[in-house]
Amino acid sequence: MTHESTAVGLASAYSNATTASGDWWRDAVIYQVYVRSFADSDGDGIGDLRGVRSRLPHLARLGVDAVWLTPFYVSPQADGGYDVADYRAVDPLFGDLADADELVRAAHELGLRVIVDVVPNHTSEQHPWFRAALAGEPGARERYLFRRGRGADGSLPPNDWESIFGGPAWTRVADGEWYLHLFAPEQPDLDWTHPEVTAEFDSVLRFWLDLGVDGFRIDVAHGMVKADGLPDIGRGAQATLIGTEPLPFFDQDGVHEIHRAWRRLLDSYEGARIGVAEAWAPSSERLALYVRPDELHQAFNFRFLNCPWDPGAMRTVIDESLSATTAVGAPTTWVLSNHDVVRHVTRYGGGAQGLARARAAAMLMLSLPGSAYLYQGEELGLPEVADLPPESRQDPAFRRGRRQQIPAPSVDPAPGPGPAAPGIIAPRPGEPAPPQSTPSPHSQPESGAGPQPRACCVPQTQAGAGPGPDPLTAPQAHAPTRPQTEAGTGPQAQACCGPQAQAGTGPEAEPGAGPAPEPCTAPQAHGPTRPQAETGTGPQAQACCGPQAVTGAGPAPEPCTAPQAHAPTRPQTEAGTGAQPQECCGPQAVTGAGPEAVTGAGPEAEMGGGAGGDPLTAPEADGQDGLRDGCRVPIPWAGAEPPYGFGPVGSWLPQPPEWAGLSVAAQTGDPHSTLELYRAALELRRAMPGLGAPEAGPSPDPRGMRWLPSPDGVLLFTRPGFACTLNTRPEPVELPAPGRPVLSSAPVETDGRTVRLPPDSCTWWAF
């Protein structure tokens, strides 16, 4: 028979020991909000702090412990706010300081902690310090990394370092000196050997801690210290080396003294304030150095994010990660997506297969010892938006790939401490660039067509349905059941019973969600089979979390034949037509973005491979591919058409028309939706003592988990009173039941003695 998984009677508050002890961060689930794309309160199409505050109930209802906010500080927005001009002020684009204060207070009232970004590796070129440096103020350049160029006339960069965004990591200013920027030219790197830099950031941290924030996510925590003498690397494509090989500009031992000082500062405040490192290191052991007892509390574990859909690779990453952090007494973190990488629904293959794998991977992640990070919209099963028009893209690496001239930073005499240096020419945002007085060695004319984004594993229309009443506008207006859609227009609904399917058995829907959906009427209640949609859409999988959905509701897509199959080369598009999506295979087929743009969203950037005159094949473009906008499209809240409740009008990046059925409103109360799967998983994580932190419950293994023998393609491990099975194979697998199933990402059949695990699925068991 098909067994009914249920989340009945779960605890409403944490039962894990770490919560009571105050070490909340050891097993916390932290939700990343990309502020520009979360909720717009004022109708300008851009998310803001008031918008975030209005949607905090969604996060409380989801069951997360904390919210991490991306930068909202004063910034020219050359890199989505990671170019900060004033670290103590809110950019008017997002509100004001009062809005930040009210958001923190509102979050605390809901039991949510707040983590904010701090960007210490570099400032904006509009920061007063950098303006002073360009204006010639004595000593101002010592806060940054200015150097004389090489060659007889100093016309060559000081070394061979490359920007993560592509091109040289140096820009020359009018008087002939060069400054270092490991990212965009608008982001000059600070010199952390200067005492004023150290003192300034101590002050910045105290400013926000005094306002009440609970911690900081430290951007480029591995980058503040550079090797003495700034030595050459001796090879190109340096972005592909990040996180795999030692580099003179990343993961230098000197960064640890900075983090020790910050840990002492954090510990001086009440309430367990934390520091989280965004750090890339060549090994798990090097990464663990960032979370030694006297350093930061957490470090992002990007090896898990980069792992292909392969059980052997997953087990290796899990074991090595846990071993490294356990050795220093720290928890491991797990993450699948963020604002810098291709969403994991798409990385895992897109369409039905990608969604099924993404749901299973989320359950695997949430069952592992330590802390988990969720990226906004992943709880909705959002795919990557791969077909954004070039004119809407704002990723600075995209523009660098087009080989635009990179102007020298501007010097505005008004806020600066002195007169502008003569000959510094730069446009303000939106102004045309004048001719440069000093040509950049990597300036090239535009090619016309621009780079061809790798829309690998093109996202398919996901579970969604026709428009219905907006459930968030009426207290009892529930999302309608999902009828068959027109051929080719969207997904096909399935019937399924999950943890929320029994009337009144699951957590209540959000206010305004309406009555519960009809429960399944028979253990083998079948949903309609999923026919092939019109060409280009593919099968629409909505793998449900319950046991009574039909196993095998429609043919499964062909599995990838190689787990690390790369995207095909990018054909030339018509001039000016923009990106041409291609199909591909394998979880690592899409290059992610982020300082570490890589195939499969990791640090190994894979640039080039395109046909003909693809500008990204040039050596100077060996950095990120510039496609990070695809994961930053504003998320859907409710309604039948864009902007889906994001704000009163449009959105800064266009939302796909297929997202109506993926909105929070459409998925709330639907037992086989991805949203309800996440809600049930997070509630179970709270209720089951064997989940959460490694210390939760006795175990012969200090990490609290033990691997058991399992068939090929299957992972099986236990934690105190709990077991997890992951089937990565494209077909069902039978094995002895490890316990009583409590939650599954797809329908699971068991007679109590044996279990038939569905393809690409994860199941939780109690015993």
Among all residues, which ones are annotated catalytic?
219, 278
C-alpha pair distances (Å), 206 with each of 211, 609, 632: 8, 47, 30
In the chain, DSSP finds a helix count (H) and a strand count (E) of: 15, 21
Helix (H, G, I), strand (E, B) or coil at 533: coil
Alpha helices in 334-388 (DSSP H): 344-347, 351-367
The dihedral built from the CA positions of residue 486, 490, 496 and 502, taken in this order, carries a sign that is negative
Cβ contact 214:271 at 8 Å: yes
SS3 per-residue string spanning 457-504: CCCCCCCCCCCCCCCCCCCCCCCCCCCCCCCCCCCCCCCCCCCCCCCC
Length of the chain: 767
User: What's at 72, amino acid-wise?
Assistant: F
Structure tokens at 28: 């916390």
Among 276, 224, 277, residue whose Cα is nearest residue 254: 224
Strand-by-strand arrangement of the 749-750 sheet: 733-736, 754-757, 749-750
Cα-based torsion angle of the residue sequence 6, 9, 12, 16 in order, rounded to the nearest 10 degrees: -80
Cβ contact 349:587 at 8 Å: yes
CB atoms within 10 A of CB 699: 17
The whole-angstrom separation of Cα 301 and Cα 319 is 12
Beta-strand relationship, 371-375 and 706-707: unpaired
The whole-angstrom separation of Cα 695 and Cα 745 is 26
The whole-angstrom separation of Cα 317 and Cα 263 is 27
Write out the DSSP string of 622-656: -S--S-GGGG-SPPP-SSSSTTTTSSSS--SSPPP
The whole-angstrom separation of Cα 674 and Cα 111 is 24
Cα-based torsion angle of the residue sequence 114, 117, 120, 123 in order, rounded to the nearest 10 degrees: -140
Cβ contact 273:66 at 8 Å: no
Structure tokens at 316: 């290796």
C-alpha pair distances (Å), 215 with each of 209, 497, 643: 7, 39, 32
CB atoms within 10 A of CB 148: 10
Alpha helices in 532-687 (DSSP H): 664-667, 674-687
Cβ contact 760:553 at 8 Å: no
Q: How many CA atoms lie within 13 A of 685 on its CB side?
A: 29
Structure tokens at 340: 């810098």
Q: How many CA atoms lie within 13 A of 435 on its CB side?
A: 1
Residues paired with residue 372 on neighbouring β-strands, in sequence order: 29, 334
User: What's at 714, amino acid-wise?
Assistant: V
Cβ neighbourhood burial of 756 (10 Å; 0-12, 13-18, 19+): middle
Residues paired with residue 189 on neighbouring β-strands, in sequence order: 122
Cβ contact 171:407 at 8 Å: no
